[in-house]
Structure 1
Amino acid sequence: MRRSTAVTSPAPSSADPKVDGRLAALGRFCFRHRRWVLGFWAVVLVIGVLIGGRVFAGSVAGASSASSEADRGSAVVTAADPSRGTVTAVVDGKPVDDQAVREAVTKATADIAALPGVSSATDAYGSGPAGAALRSADGNASLVSVRMADASTDAQTAAVTQRLADIKADGAHVTVGGDLVLQDEVKKQTEKDTRFGEIVTLPLTLVVMVLVFGGLAAASLPVIGAVASVGGALLAMFGFSKIMDIDTSVLPIATVLGLGLSIDYALLMVNRFREERGHGAGIAAAVERTAATAGRTVAFSGLTVAVALSGLFVFTSPVLAAVAAAGVSVVVIAVAAALTLVPALLGFAGSRVKAPTAPVPDEGFFSRTVRRVRKRAVPVALACVALLMAAGAPFLHADMRSSGAAVLPASSAGRQVADTVDQRFPMASQAPITVVVEGGATVAQAYADDVVAKLPGVSGVRAVTPVSDKVSTIDVLVHGDPQGGQAKKVVEELRADRGGLTTQVTGGAASVVDFQHELLTRGPIALGLVALGTLVLLFLMTGSVVMPVKALLMNLLSLGASLGALTLVFQDGWFSGLLGFSPAGGLETFIPVLVFAFAFGLSMDYEVFLLARIKELRDKGHSCTRAVELGVQRSGKIITSAALLMVIVFAGFALGDMLMVKQMGIALAVAVAVDATLVRCLLVPAAMSLFGEFNWWAPAPLRRLHNRFGLSEHVDLPTIAPAVIPGQRPEAKELVITP
């Protein structure tokens, strides 16, 4: 008869004393009720997957803000002449006056004009300026422009798009675009890139975690936790889409944040569980102690990231407000998954998770690096600061712009039509600046002739168009870049001299000016709130006023390096061929703000990991020098592994085709890589060596405040009697525990 060798989970006993605290209690609950917890998250995942497509379909490509003059001007035009948008076809390849082309185009235009949901349909064969504007300068291409009624449906738009695509004439080819097609392509491409990023990054992170943990069981738990949290994130964003406009660009940004944080937090939890098992705890006790220690780290880290993202609520831009709402909710979900789902999964897989068989050594690569840095603290600190400042310098010449169709890959039909219209149909292309005049065409024409045309930088007034009896528009052309410095100056001049009329200056250049104005007025407030919140949190954790300030300055340096890389790549075109995109000549307006909020939160995340370890060692009686050595050594592997996984996640999303997703992915990957290497391994040890015991200084009143209200990630755990773990060497019971 064969004897079973299966290992069963040890039940809590007097050998595994109970740990006090709410997080420990939560860990116990999730372990005991692990089937219910797993079932709950399975339901969340299934529902999240089922509604995932609806989240993207319900998003808004280019959400507007009532506080922006550019958006108010667009709203005035829409109210005067409601329209859902346009569908535009480019008929190219044969002369416009070719008889077969004329017959095919005019028949299609007549057919489309009779379709439901169509407000108007025009082609190049109409009389007057309207027809001429739809004819290319070389006479070899024409446009068919269809305006959809405000109440038109997606199905009606699709019918129009199909009829335009069906235009047939020997030698001619048709490409269908327009703003409605662009919006649809942005949604579909964003969803495709998000799915692609998840498919690429999850297998890679699993491989890395197998190498980190030395086993598939432990490595798979963070991936499972991350997948479940993404389902929760989709649910949260679906809920927000019902109460506010969620810009399409928000969805991949929130997804990549949730995926990265979930993997990071689950990695910490599983790593602590393995160490508790190696120390001799049974599975139930190890889960409980993991929740009490690593769970505390996760909760504190999540709070730090949420504080950084909350600064975005200061802005009125709907994109930033939506990112703030979605981002904070994603952080909450990632923390919730780490504190509930991961303990439940550990309860199921605990006996198959390999426990370490040797203590974490106090001597190794990281401790030796710290000692070398300490011997040359001044030159190392100066070199790091100089390098980071040099890396951030390119951001000083960064140019903000609204990319428009350029956010899509060059292969998309919508972008091809937009580029063709800009290059070959100057009279039909969107003017850099549009002045909305609340008055008739006569009044608007007089204002255009007497004021607008005479402004420096204006190359001409293309058209004055009556939208209704009470609203007219003036298309203004400018010298040079349509969103460059000259165009922005013209916007300011038009707003300074309105000719005694009620006007709204809108268009691409005006939108950029409005956003930059918001950054200048509200940015310092947001930065101040984030900095204050971070300083308070770090003070409550460390009891020092020196280390929070130092951490803040270091994070700003690493952020500068990230923004500098962003400028070099996406504005100046470095590695654009390798990354598969065409530089747009600048950065999307809101991307630097998002990079700041996300990268700041993630950098402070790693700062918390490291400072918590150093603080705990100092509290145990180690000198500042030795505490830094041991802190970097004992947390170095886990921080490096977490950072590597973050870089993989961000880089995976950067492989997508959407320009905004690429920009966020590259910027965050650079920020995390710089922070986990140059800053944590060199600059932090050098600075702490220079400051010595002054690192822990705080005025007496603040010390008393910290003694009363301070937060600590360290938990005094009761001693446990070692459990028998197959394959463990006797000395493993001396393992150093690191949250």
Structure 2
Amino acid sequence: MFNALGRLANTHPRRVLGGTVLFFVLAGVLGGPVAGLLNSDNDSFSDTGASSAKAIDQIEKAAGQDASPSLIALVDVDDKAAIEKTQEILSDPSVKQVVGGPEMGKQFVSKDGTQTYFAAIYKSGVDADKTTEHLRDELGRVDGVRVGGFGPAYQEVNEHVESDLVTAELIAFPLLFLVSLWVFRSAVAALLPLLVGGLTIVTSLLIVRGINEFVDISIFALNLITGLGLGLAIDYSLFLVSRYREELERVGPGAEAVRRTVATAGRTVAFSAVTVAGAGLALLVFPLRFLYSMGIGVTVVALAAAAVSLIVLPALFAVLQHRVNALAPRRWREAQIAESRAEVQGFWYRVSKFVMRFPVGTAIAGAAILLALGTPFLGVKFTGVDATVLPDGSPAKTVDTVLRQDFVGAESSPVIVAVTAPESDQSELETYASTLGSLDGVAQVAPPRFLGDDTWQLDVVPSGTTLDDKTLDLVGEIRDTDAPGKVLVGGASAEQVDQVKSIAANIPLALAILALLTFITLFLMTGSVVLPIKALLMNVLTISATFGVLVLIFQDGRFEGFLDYTSQGALESSQPVFLFAVVFGLSTDYAVFLLTRIKEARDNGAGERESVALGLQRTGRIVTAAALLFAIALGAFATSQIIFIKELGIGTALAVLIDATIVRAMLVPSLMALLGRRNWWAPKPLRKLHDRIGISEGGPAELERIDA
């Protein structure tokens, strides 16, 4: 395959580039509108097959309306005109019931008597998203009315996500170009990674649009596609461009340099993409739309980045040839040539030699740093997605805050209990309601309501907030309480309990997929079973350190002013799972690039420690630059106004930087020095297997074998 790609680039480069331009236009036209087509419902973080979802479905089918309000309108009690207009707007045909207002009781009036609210409950089967959008627009034109609730909150989240994409790209692209210019010391070479990044993003959007026709994909995947797509494309471009420049120095411009680049670095890029795509596949086992959408995004982006890099860049190399180094001041060009020729005097060569002089102490120090950073994760707390993820001042968050602070009994969504029992069992249901009212953590229980179809609804109002530990424990107590019929428990609190349970149940399978794919890929690349095991352990250390720092920042509320967020006092429960998979894939990605260059030096006759030093030197500057560029591409989402998007961006950026510094500079060379030849050990049957199907990024000796 790689020989075919090399031949294609050398024989028809202009046709490849012309086809690329046409594809880019087509992908932009078809894939560009995908943001408006992706799923923006408020169930992206819920397990739609869990008992909490079944409870809501049962109630909605029996009652012909939603189980809980979707929209809240907050109004001043004395503003009669605003109250009348609000009631008029909420008489919309899609609204089945409106509760609230000062006439319905003191629970709908604030503690100081100045505010009231109306809650709109939609009919079953209506388009909740369109209904919410319409009502928000209408109510937004009424002076003195503030709109909140679950529906508006999720719409505001989606709106912020789309605007944050533009902001992140405006910040990332100029910074990425400047850093690429510093890395390559050539304007032409610096533009190539950005070109591939743009192509990767539009290609991924086109593919995701096609997949969305069959599987509902969450709109939150857009952030991942742009950030990860840009980051991976730049990584792969860096390695291909740097390798091509090496081959230019070795064999000069022409078809041979392109062929060697594709046969070596191109092969490594392909299998690196497989490791990242494997991380995406691991996320597909989770039933939450957010996580499996992210899994689809990771898989698509990784494969698209590799495909664009391996098809477009070699064709560009064939056309540009030595002009890949054009638009560079003479001093930069001389420095680049000197660096490529002075391997044994380079910075990373000296660092690795120093580390390998003190391998035990360095390994202990590196592991201790990562373990210390990871320690705070032992005290992690989890929360869900509600209005508190929005920035301060947003309408839905403002309404949510007012309800929590100024109204009695409105600080928490009720736990919704669906009981299957005939209408004649009313006395038993009243006794059951009394029993629930005596449970610890219950403020009150509304009288049971018979909805038809042998379905009763009981609303249990907790004494605490929706997502605090006491309320979440209450869900389990309600489920364990004897009832006069089959019981299903729903509501926001129950959804959070079921989400965490669903994630925990699927984590073993996801971990098994990650570990197996990582082991197989690194074994095929190196022929060793020791190196994959070490990589797995170092990945875990990197991830634990990342999680610990996220707890210190977002759970403990540090740097709130600098990062412009308000802590929820916990991490959103799906983020660690997503970060674990993505960071695992990216860490393995960097391990592949480093280990293949070490193996290349070793296969060409270098000693055990010398091959490590040469491999680190050959990849040092490029991997450092790749990590920095990746951190910029994903770290730009630190500017997001949505807190869990901040967690995603900062977490990924931190992990990449930790892996490119502490792991690569301290742990890899020290552990390689300690184990020596044992690094490359494998049982005899596996050695034979690797001899038949193994892959590697070879140097001159390997290329001669390929030629033969």
Alignment TM-score, normalising by the size of structure 2: 0.91
What amino acid is aligned across from residue 59 of structure 1 in structure 2? S
- 1:321 to partner: Cα distance: 1.8
- 1:586 to partner: Cα distance: 0.8
User: Is 1:329 matched up with 2:321?
Assistant: no
- The CA distance in 1 between the partners of 2:648 and 2:280, in whole Å, is 15
- The CA distance in 2 between the partners of 1:623 and 1:586, in whole Å, is 49
Query: Counterpart of 1:474 in 2: which secondary structure?
Result: strand
In structure 1, what is the equivalent of residue 168 of structure 2? 197
Matches within 5 A, 1:72-83: 72-83=54-65
- The CA distance in 2 between the partners of 1:346 and 1:404, in whole Å, is 49
Over aligned residue pairs, what C-alpha RMSD do you find? 2.6
What amino acid is aligned across from residue 292 of structure 2 in structure 1? A
In structure 2, what is the equivalent of residue 8 of structure 1? none
In structure 1, what is the equivalent of residue 121 of structure 2? 147
8 Å CA contact 2:42–2:151 kept in 1: the answer is no
- 1:481 to partner: Cα distance: 5.3
In structure 1, what is the equivalent of residue 564 of structure 2? 580
Matches within 5 A, 1:208-357: 208-354=179-325, 356-357=336-337
Change (3 A) 1:152 1:117: farther
- The CA distance in 1 between the partners of 2:273 and 2:26, in whole Å, is 20
In structure 1, what is the equivalent of residue 330 of structure 2? none
In structure 2, what is the equivalent of residue 120 of structure 1? 97
User: Is 1:556 matched up with 2:531?
Assistant: no
8 Å CA contact 1:570–1:586 kept in 2: the answer is yes
What amino acid is aligned across from residue 487 of structure 2 in structure 1? T
**% of aligned pairs identical?**
35
Change (3 A) 1:467 1:563: farther
- The CA distance in 2 between the partners of 1:198 and 1:644, in whole Å, is 16
In structure 1, what is the equivalent of residue 138 of structure 2? 163
What amino acid is aligned across from residue 269 of structure 2 in structure 1? V
Q: Which structure 2 residue ranges, 5 or more long, are not aligned?
A: 326-332
In structure 2, what is the equivalent of residue 668 of structure 1? 652
Q: Which moved more, 1:415-424 or 1:183-192?
A: 415-424
Matches within 5 A, 1:486-525: 486-525=470-509
Deviations 1:122-172 (A, max 9, x none): 441444xxx54332222100113333443358665444334323434xxxx
- The CA distance in 1 between the partners of 2:552 and 2:283, in whole Å, is 25
User: Is 1:606 matched up with 2:590?
Assistant: yes
Matches within 5 A, 1:172-183: 173-183=144-154
User: Is 1:526 matched up with 2:506?
Assistant: no
- 1:410 to partner: Cα distance: 1.5
- 1:48 to partner: Cα distance: 5.2
What amino acid is aligned across from residue 119 of structure 1 in structure 2? K
- The CA distance in 1 between the partners of 2:235 and 2:596, in whole Å, is 16
Deviations 1:555-583 (A, max 9, x none): 10011000111111111111122100000
What amino acid is aligned across from residue 685 of structure 1 in structure 2? P
- 1:45 to partner: Cα distance: 4.4
In structure 1, what is the equivalent of residue 396 of structure 2? 414
In structure 2, what is the equivalent of residue 61 of structure 1? 42
- The CA distance in 1 between the partners of 2:245 and 2:374, in whole Å, is 40
- 1:351 to partner: Cα distance: 4.6
- The CA distance in 2 between the partners of 1:314 and 1:111, in whole Å, is 43
Query: Counterpart of 1:59 in 2: which secondary structure?
Result: coil
Query: Counterpart of 2:145 in 1: which secondary structure?
Result: strand
Change (3 A) 1:178 1:456: closer
- 1:263 to partner: Cα distance: 1.2
Q: Which moved more, 1:291-300 or 1:496-505?
A: 496-505
Change (3 A) 1:154 1:537: closer
8 Å CA contact 1:41–1:341 kept in 2: the answer is no
- The CA distance in 2 between the partners of 1:86 and 1:516, in whole Å, is 23
Query: Counterpart of 1:254 in 2: which secondary structure?
Result: helix
Q: Which structure 1 residue ranges, 5 or more long, are not aligned?
A: 1-18, 721-739
What amino acid is aligned across from residue 300 of structure 2 in structure 1? S
Deviations 1:626-678 (A, max 9, x none): 11111111110111010010111121111111112101011111100100000
In structure 1, what is the equivalent of residue 382 of structure 2? 400
Query: Counterpart of 1:353 in 2: which secondary structure?
Result: helix
Alignment TM-score, normalising by the size of structure 1: 0.87
- The CA distance in 1 between the partners of 2:486 and 2:74, in whole Å, is 36
What amino acid is aligned across from residue 502 of structure 1 in structure 2? K
- The CA distance in 2 between the partners of 1:484 and 1:160, in whole Å, is 30
- 1:679 to partner: Cα distance: 0.3
User: Is 1:568 matched up with 2:552?
Assistant: yes
Query: Counterpart of 2:72 in 1: which secondary structure?
Result: strand
Change (3 A) 1:262 1:65: same
Change (3 A) 1:315 1:210: same
Change (3 A) 1:459 1:29: farther
- 1:205 to partner: Cα distance: 0.5
More helix by share: 2
- 1:696 to partner: Cα distance: 0.9
- The CA distance in 2 between the partners of 1:478 and 1:158, in whole Å, is 30
- The CA distance in 2 between the partners of 1:600 and 1:718, in whole Å, is 29
Deviations 1:315-340 (A, max 9, x none): 22222222212221111111111111
Change (3 A) 1:697 1:571: same
8 Å CA contact 2:412–2:461 kept in 1: the answer is no
In structure 2, what is the equivalent of residue 5 of structure 1? none
What amino acid is aligned across from residue 60 of structure 1 in structure 2? D
What amino acid is aligned across from residue 357 of structure 1 in structure 2? I
Matches within 5 A, 1:679-698: 679-698=663-682
Count of residues in correspondence between the two structures: 687
In structure 1, what is the equivalent of residue 328 of structure 2? none
8 Å CA contact 1:61–1:248 kept in 2: the answer is no
In structure 2, what is the equivalent of residue 137 of structure 1? 111
Change (3 A) 1:122 1:490: closer
Deviations 1:257-278 (A, max 9, x none): 1121111111212222222223
Query: Counterpart of 1:89 in 2: which secondary structure?
Result: strand
In structure 2, what is the equivalent of residue 36 of structure 1? 18
